[in-house]
Structure 1
């Protein structure tokens, strides 16, 4: 049984705990919040007594083997490094860190400490994504890929009213590409690997983060066009076009369904059943890596490539974070 601690007391932490408990591989043993009372209130839902308002104390505690990090993006890297240095396994919410340098520093530290570092990129572990990947040969020669994830932020109204919510604040390493675009980008890298090259554009808000944008990944013989937005809702499916068939994916972040369309034939549903809470599959994979002591794994390769592309794309469109100016120690 993996003794699990959590950083963060929001809805996504609840979702991960629910998924982790369903695997039967974890025991929740510790909760952190900057306010101890808030940690205690959250922990009481799960019958957990060990609460912390000090990360140093939690990282050095013998009450946990692994930690799930669901803090603001800018804190992912420093907090992960702190727990890795204390010999704890880390599953960090996407993005794994603010930039490529931080990701590399975390991978090096995890290797040195012989602990598992894992980005909680749910998309690449769910059954319908795996089904999509194994079904690519059905398309024939691949020619065009369009991945779209556009979701109007619930906090955009606050931003327009003059407030400064975390999701549109560069101090927290946020913006459309970091929060939304990372899903289709990770899916593309999970399917096709590192591109030969890429182009990027984005529209910036006055706060300094990107509101929406497009990345085009260039592979031999085909391109992947990735559209992302935090200021508008998208309703179209994602699409993969081959010379023999086309696949449509409902919701690239969770791959709710995968449909195969051949010219002149009825559509074929390639979808398989999957848990409603698809975080279940990342929790299963994280536990497997810990149990089998797989410190080096394919998820790190994907996270490294994705982070490199996002870091370079931000440089192209002019998004800079305070985290870019300092190294992890």
Structure 2
């Protein structure tokens, strides 16, 4: 069994723990919260007795082998590095950090201590994403990737009332690109690697984060277009366009329906049944890697995470989006 601690007692952690119930080799043994009462209440829901209000004590504890970090983005690097330095494996929510420099440091610390660091990007580990990878050759030479993730945030209503919650606060390295745009970018990098050029536009809100934006990425033989937003909705699917046909993906963040639309008008369904909750697959991947004695995922790899964050840094530079973390 891989004994886990969790840092972050929020709905994301609850979703992961619910999914992890079906993961072979997963055992929750400890919970961290700054508030001891909150830690105890959260732990009791899962039959856990060990709680911490000190990250340092948790990181040095011999009662955990790994940790799942689901705190605000600006805390990811510092917290992950603490656990990595103490020989703990780290599954860290996306985005892995606030900028590429932080990601580079995290990767080096993981390598130095021979432990696993993995970005909890669920989409690229789902069964229907693997189907996409396996069937790319069917659509011939690929010329265009288009992806959209625009979802009106319930927190935006509060923002318009003058209440700035974490989702729209640059202190926490948040905003549309970091929260939603990454879901469009990461699969692109896994499928096609690093682009030659990146251009971007975006609208910055008064709080200092981006509400929405567009990214154009140039490859030798193809282009990619990405739309992301936390202040509007989009109902468009993602497309990978080839000369023989196009792969249509219903939701890039959680692919559940995948089809090929061929030039001749025929449609081939590639959809496979997803028998577990979407977050199950990232946890199972993480546990499997540890149990196999490896220290890196081949899909959510160091290269893919670092390249994605480098592109996000470039996008932020283009639109003038700056986080306090950039100046540490």
Aligned to 1:274: 274
1:288 is displaced (CA, Å) by 1.5
Contact 1:116 1:293 in 2 (8 A): no
Contact 2:24 2:284 in 1 (8 A): no
**Runs of 4+ displaced beyond 6 Å:** none
Structure 1 unmatched ranges of 5 or more: none
Range with greater deviation from structure 2 (107-116 or 297-306): 297-306
Deviations 1:85-104 (A, max 9, x none): 11100000001111000000
1:164 is displaced (CA, Å) by 1.2
Aligned to 1:13: 13
Contact 2:93 2:119 in 1 (8 A): yes
Are residues 1:305 and 2:307 paired? yes
Q: Please point out which of 296, 314, 317 is paired with 1:315.
A: 317
Aligned to 1:140: 140
What TM-score, normalized by structure 1, do the two folds share?
A: 0.97
Aligned to 1:61: 61
Distance 1:104 1:250 in 2: 33
Q: 1:209-228 alignment to 2 at 5 Å?
A: 209-228=209-228
Contact 1:23 1:283 in 2 (8 A): yes
1:289 is displaced (CA, Å) by 1.4
SS at match of 1:119: strand
Distance 1:20 1:300 in 2: 23
Aligned to 2:80: 80
Aligned to 2:25: 25
1:293 is displaced (CA, Å) by 2.4
Distance 2:231 2:90 in 1: 32
Distance 1:263 1:296, change over 3 A: closer
Q: 1:162-241 alignment to 2 at 5 Å?
A: 162-241=162-241
Distance 2:238 2:275 in 1: 21
Contact 1:216 1:223 in 2 (8 A): yes
Aligned to 1:101: 101
Distance 1:133 1:63 in 2: 38
Deviations 1:108-129 (A, max 9, x none): 0000010000000001111101
Contact 1:30 1:52 in 2 (8 A): yes
SS at match of 1:259: strand
Distance 2:239 2:224 in 1: 10
Aligned to 2:327: 325
Aligned to 2:110: 110
SS at match of 2:95: coil
Contact 2:289 2:296 in 1 (8 A): no
Distance 1:218 1:123, change over 3 A: same
SS at match of 1:143: strand
SS at match of 1:149: strand
Q: 1:239-250 alignment to 2 at 5 Å?
A: 239-250=239-250
Distance 1:264 1:110 in 2: 50
Distance 2:248 2:296 in 1: 33
